[in-house]
Structures are given as structure tokens and as C-alpha cells.
Chain A
Amino acid sequence: MAENRYLLNAQLAQMLKGGVIMDVVNVEQAQIAQEAGAVAVMALERVPADIRKQGGVARMSDPGLIKAIKEAVTIPVMAKARIGHFVEAQILQALKIDYIDESEVLTPADEECHIDKTQFAIPFVCGARNLGEAARRIAEGAAMIRTKGEAGTGDVVEAVRHMRTMNREIRQLANMPAEEVVGFAKTNGIPYELALEVKRLGRLPVVNFAAGGIATPADAALMMQLGCDGVFVGSGIFKSSDPVRRASAIVKAAAFYNDPEKLLEVSMDLGDPMSGISVASLTGENRLAGRGW
């Protein structure tokens, strides 16, 4: 991938900052999301909450569905490929969507390797639980990172954990004398050059959104105040009782994340949020965030 293409891809993510990216499973939901002010939609067949409930192997969505959604909206369209499934990614690139999410929400296709994203012109966003994971994905060519959280739960606890972990590790790195960087990079699996760049910048070198469990305007503002650049809301909108109002409220909360008066105003009378599952009740393979290497 040409260097200027990678930069253009990182810059598209910059234009999404302060915005909300919403999961949608059909054209109607995509239009609702756009009308509510989503900055992009994630087109998929099943939201994470349903993937969780129904079980089985979760794969890339039918390209016909993604194409229909792409034709119905003018905002960017993202879609998910399985971790390591570079052919799903090739298909999504041929479909000319705007961003690929190499996602732990789908069943991984490779338990050792992620996709070599440098071989693609299309941008990728990848999930991460900590600085090392984020840096490895960036080294592989991701132009945008999202904290993983625990998708499909409506429980924000893991998104918070991942964001706090990343912030803590960045602060450690930023305050560390130069001679300790090699050891820190080795321990945390961070490519050395990227460790130096993160140290110099005091943040990830690409846009970082929060994802996984965000269900209310307050959740979105919490993640923004913790330092992310924007949020993904998956099941949280269309699994709630009033998706139109909730979608719009979360968009407003992301813009005014630092203004409690506005957050109060937008949080009222939204109906029921998605019912959710507490992450603490999930065990083993039901925890999706553990996928990724």
C-alpha cells in the first residue's frame, strides 16, 4: 500500500472524530442512523447481541446486504471481516466499502495471524484491549483503532477497562526514560519504533474510538471523557425500545460529552435501553474480547 493511501485512510478516520458509528442490519436502520447523525454505519447481518444469542460461526455478512446499505446512505459504510480472513477483506475491498473492521465479534479464521493490512488500499479498523494489541494492529496496517469492550452486552465495563489500560500504558511510556523503552516494548509486545512514536505523541498515532457495551448517552460521554476520539454503538441502539430517539441522543452526547447540563437534557425519556448481559456473568469463549493475538 502506498504511503499516501495509508495517510488518506488515517485521515478519513480523523474526519469521523467526535462522532458515533452505528451497527445496522438493513437499509431502514441505515437510513435511521444517518438521519440521527451517525458519522458512519457498520453494515452486518446480525448485531453482536444476536450473534451471542444464536451462537454458531459468525462470518462476513452477505455482500448483497452490504451493497444495498451502501446504496441507501451517503455516510461511510464499514463492514466486518473475520480476524485473519484476508479473502473476506478482498471481497469487501472489491465491493468498495469505506472501511473494514477486522473484528473479534466474528468467529476468528486464523488463531495466529491477523490480516496483512498493508496489502490493501482500503482502510482497516481493528480492536484492541491494550497498547500492545493496538500497536501490533497498527504495525500490520490498521489506520484506526477501537477499544474492544465486550460487544453485544450493553455493559460498558470492558470498554472502560480497555480504555483505562491503554491510557495507563501510554502514560507509563511517555514518562519513562529512553533506556527503559526496549524492555517495556518487549514485555508488552509493542514494535519498538511504534513505542517511540507513542512516547513522543503521548497517545496512539491513529484515531482511537471506543466500542463494546455502549448503550446510553452517558456511556458514550464516559468513553469520550476517558479520552477516546469517538464511539461505536453496536447492539445498543437497535436493541433498545426507541432506536430513533436513542440514536439521536447518543450523537448529541458525543458532541457535548463534557457538558453535564446537555447530557441531562439528552438522557431524558429515551425508553428502555437494551436489556444486556453483565460481562461478569460471561465465561470462557463467551468473552469475545479475548479473540485477537
Chain B
Amino acid sequence: MNAEAGALGVLDLQGGVQEHLDHLQRIGVPARTVKRAAELDGLAGLIIPGGESTCLSRLLRIFELDQAIRRAVDGGLKLWGTCAGAILLAAENRGEAPALGLIDIAISRNAFGSQLDSFNRQVRVPMVAEEPIPVTFIRAPKIVRAGAGVRVLLELDDYIAAAEDDRILVTVFHPELTPSLAFHRYFARKCGVRSDGTEAASRDPGWTPQSWMRFSHHA
């Protein structure tokens, strides 16, 4: 591991990139965007953000980032996929060929309906935080099966909403769209990266829905 091993990356092809950068800054973790294979070097973890999974999967393949990410995972890189990111990581994508296929789950895209069916709720995820965590589901997928090596972190109604194995975390919701920093701290821990603050203070009172804008490319 080199000197930069404490850094996390956010895949920057399309989608909710700035929202993750904002959360990572709030927990005091060095972060940078990743557009090219070479930019994976030295990262401890990579977040694959929400966006449109078809768009992201095409861009990953065309620019050969998929192969580079697979190699980096073999070399110890940890991954976290939120929403579309989770779809890309699933070994089985109902209705379409898997993209990265790195975690043994089956996922069903856009499983709740249209935007009118998007919602917020509070959940308890004992592995991640003691207090309830607000989560946001936007045209979300459902994890419909988890393989033997996969730990289920959160099960709701008839689906799995968060799961992990030793290398990979998947959430079908968007912690980066809420004031909660709990999942970002959890992922940093998984990557062996130190974050500021404690689990007890996992909700950032300074966060607003526009906080991501400080990272927008023309700001």
C-alpha cells in the first residue's frame, strides 16, 4: 500500500457523484473522483454511485474500466454500490446481463414502479449504527436473493435493501441523499480508512439537500 492508501474514490461517469464527495468530506476522509483506470491506483475503496445503471454499465465497458475495477478488487480494493451501483455489482441482474458481477446477489431493477413510488423511511441497521438511519429510495431496485457468502444487513418487507461480503457493500437506497453519515463511516471502516467523529454523531446537522453543490463542476 502506498502513501495514499487512506483515500476513497467515487466513480465519476454519471450520477450522484458530488453527493458522495460531500459525505466523505463530512467524515474527514480524503476522496477523489475516478474517471480512468489509472485513477484507481492507491485507493482503499471505490463508491459506485446512483445514476442510470444502463448508462454506467455501457461506459464502464466501453472505456474498459470494468476490467480495471475487477483487477483492483483482486488486489484488495473494496467497493460500495448505491442503487444503480448495486445493480452493476450484482452477479445476477434480472432482465439484463450482469455488469461487474462481483457479489453473489440477484437484483431486480426499478422494482417499486415510477418516480411517484420513490420514498423515504427510517431503518435500523444494527451492524451500521445504533440509532435509526433515514434512507431514500429513488426508483430503487430490490435485492431478491443473497448467496451463501453474503451477509444481509437490512431486510424490509419482501426484499433485501443492504448486504455485503468481505469485499463489497451494496445498498439499494441512497445514504448520500440524507443527513446520515452512518453508511459512509461504515464503508470507510470496511476499507480500513480512519474517519473523523463517532458513530453516535452520525447525523450531520450542517447537511442540507444542496450541500452537494459545493462540488458541482462549475462551482
**A interface residues with partner B (beta carbon < 8 Å):** 4, 7-12, 14-19, 34-40, 70, 74-77, 93, 96-99, 121-123, 167, 201-203, 205, 224, 226-227, 229, 248, 251-252, 254-256, 258-259
CB distance from B197 to the nearest CB of A (A): 25
Instruction: State A37–B52 Cα separation when bound (angstroms).
Output: 8
List of A residues within 8 angstroms of B95 by Cβ: 74
| Residues of chain A within 8 A of B17, CB atoms compared | 17-18
Contacts of B114 in A (CB 8 A): 70, 77, 96-98
Number of A-B contacts (CB under 8 A): 126
Pairs A-B, 8 closest by C-beta atoms:
A227-B218, A37-B58, A37-B55, A18-B14, A98-B115, A39-B52, A96-B114, A8-B118
Query: Which chain B residues lie closer than 8 Å to A248 at the CB level?
Result: 58, 62
- Residue-by-residue, is B147-163 near A (CB-CB < 8 Å gives 1, otherwise 0)? 00000000000000000
The answer on a CB contact under 8 Å between B115 and A123 is yes
- Asked if B209 CB lies within 8 Å of chain A CBs, one says yes
B54 touches A74 (CB 8 A): yes
How many whole Å from B80's CB to the nearest CB in chain A? 16
**Is B120 in contact with chain A by the CB < 8 A criterion?**
yes
* A123-B116 Cα distance, complex, nearest whole Å: 9
Name B's interface SS: loop
* 1/0 contact string of B194-219 vs chain A (CB within 8 Å): 00000000000000011011001111
Q: How far is the CA of A167 from the CA of B109 in the complex (A)?
A: 37
What is the minimal beta-carbon distance from B111 to any residue of chain A, in angstroms? 10
List residues of chain A with CB within 8 A of the CB of B218. Answer: 167, 203, 226-227
Residues in B neighbouring A12, C-beta threshold 8 A: 115, 118, 138-139
Q: What are the residues of chain A within 8 A of B84 when measuring CB–CB?
A: 15
Q: Given A8-B120, A10-B209, A75 and B52 touching (CB < 8 A)?
A: yes
From A226, which residue of chain B is reached at the shortest CB distance?
A: B218
Question: What distance in Å separates the Cβ of B171 from its nearest Cβ neighbour in chain A?
Answer: 14
Give every chain B residue within 8 A of A121 (Cβ-Cβ): 116
Q: Is the CB of A19 within 8 A of B15?
A: yes
Q: A77 contacts which chain B residues (CB < 8 A)? A: 114
- A7 and B110 alpha carbons, distance in the complex (Å): 19
Contact of B19 among A14, A34, A99, A203 (CB under 8 A): A14
Q: Are A255 and B50 in contact (CB under 8 A)?
A: no
CB-CB under 8 A from A203, the residues of chain B are 213, 216, 218-219
Residues of B contacting A205 in the complex (Cβ-Cβ under 8 angstroms):
210, 213
Q: Which residues of B contact A226 (CB under 8 A)?
A: 218
CA distance A10 to B138 in the complex (A): 11
Residues on A with beta carbons closer than 8 Å to the beta carbon of B12: 18
> In the bound complex, how far is the Cα of B15 from the Cα of A37, in angstroms?
12
B55 and A96 contact, CB distance less than 8 A: no
Q: Are A122 and B15 in contact (CB under 8 A)?
A: no
The residue that B35 contacts in the complex, of A17, A97, A256, with Cβ under 8 A, is A256
**CB < 8 Å neighbour of A34 from B18, B35, B54, B174:** B54
Residues of A within 8 A of B14 (CB): 17-19, 39, 254-255
How long is the Cα–Cα vector from A36 to B59 in the complex, in angstroms? Answer: 9
Contact of A255 with B59 at beta-carbon distance under 8 Å, contacts A4-B120, A17-B14 already known = yes
**B59 CB contacts on chain A under 8 angstroms:** 37, 251-252, 255
Alpha-carbon gap, A93 to B115, bound state (A) = 10
Task: Show 25 A/B contacts (Cβ-Cβ < 8 Å), sorted by A.
Answer: A8-B138, A11-B138, A12-B139, A15-B139, A16-B52, A17-B14, A17-B18, A18-B12, A35-B58, A39-B14, A39-B55, A74-B54, A74-B109, A96-B113, A98-B139, A99-B115, A202-B213, A203-B216, A203-B219, A251-B59, A252-B62, A255-B13, A255-B59, A258-B217, A259-B35
Q: Give the distance to chain A from B32, nearest Cβ to Cβ, in Å.
A: 15
CB of B118 within 8 A of CB of A74, answer no
A19 touching B19, Cβ below 8 Å: no
In contact, A9 and B115 (Cβ under 8 angstroms): yes
B52/A202 in contact, CB under 8 A? no
A30 to chain B, nearest CB (A): 12
Q: Which B residue's beta carbon lies closest to that of A167?
A: B218
What's the least CB distance linking B86 to chain A, in Å? 13
Closest to A9 in B: B115
Is there a chain A Cβ closer than 8 Å to B101's Cβ?
A: no
**Which of B15, B62, B109, B210 meets A15, CB within 8 Å?**
B15
Q: For B136, list chain A residues within 8 Å (CB).
A: 8, 11
Q: Chain A residues near B216 (CB, 8 Å)?
A: 203, 229
| Minimal Cβ-Cβ distance residue in B for A143 | B115
Please tell me if B177 contacts chain A, counting CB pairs below 8 Å: yes
Interface membership of chain B positions 81-125, coded 1 if the CB is closer than 8 angstroms to chain A and 0 otherwise: 001100000000001000000000000011001111011100000
